[in-house]
Chain A
Amino acid sequence: MWRIVHQFGSPPWVYRFCDRVIPWLLPITVVALLTGSIWGLLFAPTDYKQGDSYRIIYIHVPAAVVALAGYYVMALAGLVSLVWRVKLADTAMRAAAPIGAAYTAIALITGAIWGKPTWGAWWVWDARITSMLILFFLYVGVIALFEAYENKTVAARACAILSLVGTVNIPIIYKSVDWWYSLHQPASIKFTGSSAIDASMLYPLLGMIITFYALFALLMMLNLKQSLTEEYAQSAWLNKRLTA
């Protein structure tokens, strides 16, 4: 078991792993994205109250869900980097930050576009939206903090601490609509009991959530490969791989 864990700390092994998975994951993700979007945008029924404007849910909710989950990926990589000093964990943490920031931005922007026709306002400072904006700043903060240091080992340590401290925001975002009065509605998909969203609309949504996870994994691997290529440009294993 420990051998598998140790393999994930080895740059050549991870590089080869990414090279093997990407040719499969890339076409699957593209097909799933197209299928999910067409299903959600054309074939799912209209909503009884919102009409067609609800369809932004097929982008908004998956982006928001994976933005939260992606933060844990980044923070976990930060923990591994901090405690075990695995260099690859630093790279993984840095690889996750821009992807998470992009997902968060998509969730915020689609939310604003939906908010205008539904609520009557682009932006409201309620608990859910504000905590989501803080998540965006945390992701951007990790990117900026890393760039701010000359010494990259120190930079990685500071970023790991920032991302660990930021994990407290994730349950706050998730529970904000239940803990406080907010304009944002509570979750429609429930883990226990029946969901507040009809099955005909729920299945394409679940499909899109899984697809967004796959897209996150794919982008993560592409990012990792890119960073490893830069970091190990002088290494024999990489040159052998690239010329092979």
Chain B
Amino acid sequence: MHPKRKQRLIVALVIVVLSSATIGLITYALRGNINLFYSPSEVAAGEAPIDRQIRVGGMVVEGSVRRASDRLETRFDVTDFVHSVTVTYDGILPDLFAEGEGVVATGKLGANGVVTASEVLAKHDENYMPPEVAEALEKANAQGSMQ
């Protein structure tokens, strides 16, 4: 290779490596801020600030959803299967909100450990299948657990 071109190639590669390292270090330093939400374990460990706007994400615990009879208020537990956090929300929940599904709730964490949410978003998972397949899977699961 022509020495001049070789030198330019090295310069170009050094630019790429240095900028990657810079951005890598910045994102590493900011990793806590890049996370969209706190997991219930982090809330339990006291990492989430109290009385400030935060987001909590995880699965809605099966059987934990309680709706008020006279208002829109809903109360449910969000878990990462290690710890769980109770969330209350006074508003319309997204269509895909359900027990056993992922959610991200925005709100304030009270001193009592309950998050009063101002917004609840459904977190969709990566599974896509036709209804028949989902039904067949459910059936197979049910049979598996009976045996």
Q: Which residues of A contact B (CB under 8 A)?
A: 45-50, 54, 57, 79, 82-84, 117-121, 124-127, 161, 164-165, 167-169, 172, 179-183, 185-188, 196-198, 200-201
Contact = CB atoms under 8 A, between A and B. Distances in A.
B50 interface: no
Contact of A180 (B12, B36, B119, B120): B36
Contacts of A196: 125-128
B145 to A, nearest CB: 20
Contacts of B95: 117-118
B77 to A, nearest CB: 18
Contact of B8 (A46, A82, A181): A82
A189 to B, nearest CB: 9
Nearest to A171: B20
B31 interface: yes
Contacts, number: 120
B72 interface: no
Please give me the 10 A-B residue pairs with the lowest Cβ-Cβ distance, nearest first. A45-B130, A120-B94, A48-B134, A197-B128, A198-B129, A126-B36, A181-B35, A168-B20, A48-B131, A188-B126
Nearest to B33: A180
Contacts of A120: 93-94, 119-122
A185 B16 contact: no
A117 B122 CA distance: 10
Contact of A119 (B34, B94, B131, B132): B94
14 contacts: A45-B131, A47-B130, A48-B129, A48-B134, A49-B96, A49-B134, A50-B124, A79-B12, A118-B96, A120-B121, A127-B36, A180-B36, A183-B57, A197-B128
B124 A164 contact: no
A183 B121 contact: yes
A50 B123 CA distance: 12
Interface of A, helix, strand, loop or mixed by DSSP: loop
Nearest to B12: A82
Contacts of A161: 15
Contacts of B127: 188, 196-197
Contacts of A83: 5, 8-9, 12
Interface string B83-110: 0000000000111100000001000000
B123 A183 contact: yes
Contacts of B19: 164-165, 168
A198 B133 contact: yes
Given A48-B129, A168-B23, A119 B5 contact: no
Given A117-B95, A182-B36, A187 B126 contact: yes
Given A49-B96, A183-B104, 6 more contacts: A118-B124, A120-B94, A127-B36, A168-B19, A179-B34, A188-B128
Contacts of A168: 16, 19-20, 23-24
A63 B53 CA distance: 34
Given A82-B8, A83-B5, A83-B9, A185 B125 contact: yes
Contact of B126 (A125, A164, A172, A185): A185
B121 to A, nearest CB: 5
Contact of A198 (B5, B20, B23, B130): B130
B79 interface: no
B116 interface: no
Contacts of A188: 126-128
